[in-house]
């Protein structure tokens, strides 16, 4: 067959639309944290100023007395961005012979892969929270959630709170909420009814619960350990230098197109005291 610029343009459009949609649809954890767009900025890093609390003094010696001066010196958190890429080669024969929309299928694969890689990087930050509850051999309990909220509020950190748990940890929570270990299921809470009827938890103690199969053993740990987390969005940040893009290059001798998906991003802990790691088995 003869390849024309018109047919190639249509193919590229299909890939780009599918990949963009899939990445946004599949990224479950990325929307839960702060996002910093540095597309139009120079360099590969973003610097986030952090302002500490200040003390307010009472003026007790008369209306003509100056208030004490407070020095405001913000600290800086720097997020370094780096590139992630995935490539495949689509031959003319494969494209012409397929019964489905090969371009859309490639877009779906690329979108899911890059979205999963971003979520994996975010999950990898959970173990860095200084506040940790329970142990890697334990089941997660509802009490862990209340305890985590207590720690956050003691640090003057208020919602919205989100919790990201492995499916095994979420199963432990659902089992407790629905009293499935009891011979008779008595009156349930709203969360218990939802867990029993819909298989989802919803909200406990002001924490909206999410599940992710990406949560597992920390790097280098061969055990079945999991590090879950409860946090506010400000606890972690992602800097986006370049969101998902699709590029193609013709390989004439191979009669094929190289299709490359890439994005440039970085993730980092912003506020350590706005997150709590909950350790469990997996």
Model confidence over 6-25: pLDDT tens digits?
555 666 677 777 766 666 55
| pLDDT confidence band for 150 (50 / 70 / 90) | very high
Does residue 181 surpass a pLDDT of 60? no
Higher-confidence position of 268 and 97: 268
State the Cα–Cα distance between residues 134 and 269, nearest whole angstrom: 21
Average pLDDT of the chain, as a whole number: 79
Residue 155's domain comprises: 5-51+74-281
Q: Is 143 a member of any domain?
A: yes
Q: Is residue 64 part of a domain?
A: no
User: With bands split at pLDDT 50, 70 and 90, how would you rate the model's confidence at 175?
Assistant: confident
User: Residue 136: which CATH number?
Assistant: 3.90.1690.10
Residue with the bigger pLDDT between 35 and 20: it is: 35
Please give the residue that has the higher pLDDT: either 227 or 5: 227
For 222, counting Cβ atoms within 10 Å of its Cβ (0-12 exposed, 13-18 middle, 19+ buried), the class is exposed
Question: 108-122 pLDDT, tens per residue?
Answer: 788 788 888 999 999
Asked if residue 65 is part of any domain, the answer here is no
More confident residue, 102 or 126: 126
Least Cα distance to 237 among 192, 280, 279, 272 occurs for 272
Q: Is residue 62 part of a domain?
A: no
pTM summary value: 0.79
Q: pLDDT > 90: what percent of the chain?
A: 26
The reply to whether omega before 5 is within 30° of 0 (cis) is: no
Q: Residue 230 falls within a domain, yes or no?
A: yes
pLDDT class of 1 with cuts at 50, 70, 90: very low
Q: Domains in the chain: how many in total?
A: 1
* 237 assigned to some structural domain: yes
Q: Is the pLDDT of residue 66 over 90?
A: no
Among 79, 81, 55, residue whose Cα is nearest residue 236 = 79
Question: Which pLDDT band, with edges at 50, 70 and 90, does 192 fall under?
Answer: very low
Check pLDDT > 80 for residue 242: yes
Is residue 110 assigned to a domain?
yes
In a domain, 69, yes or no: no
């Amino acid at each position: 067959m003869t390849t024309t610029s018109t047919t190639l343009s249509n193919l590229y459009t299909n890939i780009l639309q599918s990949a963009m949609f899939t990445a946004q649809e599949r990224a479950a954890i990325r929307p839960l944290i702060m996002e910093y767009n540095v597309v139009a900025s120079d360099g590969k890093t973003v610097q986030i100023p952090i302002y500490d609390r200040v003390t307010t003094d009472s003026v007790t010696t008369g209306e003509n007395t100056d208030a004490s001066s407070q020095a405001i010196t913000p600290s800086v958190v720097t997020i370094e961005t780096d590139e992630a890429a995935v490539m495949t080669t689509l031959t003319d024969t494969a494209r012409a012979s397929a019964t489905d929309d090969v371009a859309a299928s490639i877009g779906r694969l690329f979108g899911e892969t890059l979205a999963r890689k971003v979520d994996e990087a975010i999950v990898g930050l959970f173990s860095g929270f200084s506040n940790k509850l329970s142990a890697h051999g334990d089941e997660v309990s509802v009490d862990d959630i209340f305890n985590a909220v207590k720690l956050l509020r003691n640090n003057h950190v208020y919602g919205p709170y989100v919790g990201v748990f492995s499916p095994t940890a979420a199963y432990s929570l659902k089992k407790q909420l629905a009293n499935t270990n009891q011979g008779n299921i008595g009156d349930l809470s709203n969360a218990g009814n939802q867990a029993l009827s819909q298989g989802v938890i919803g909200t406990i103690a002001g924490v909206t619960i999410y599940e992710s199969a990406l949560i597992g053993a920390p790097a280098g740990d061969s055990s079945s350990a999991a590090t879950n987390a409860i946090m506010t969005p400000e606890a972690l940040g992602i800097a986006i230098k370049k969101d998902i893009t699709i590029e193609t290059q013709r390989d004439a001798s191979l009669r094929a197109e190289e299709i490359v998906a890439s994005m440039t991003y970085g993730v980092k802990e912003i506020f350590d005291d706005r997150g709590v790691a909950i350790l469990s088995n997996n």
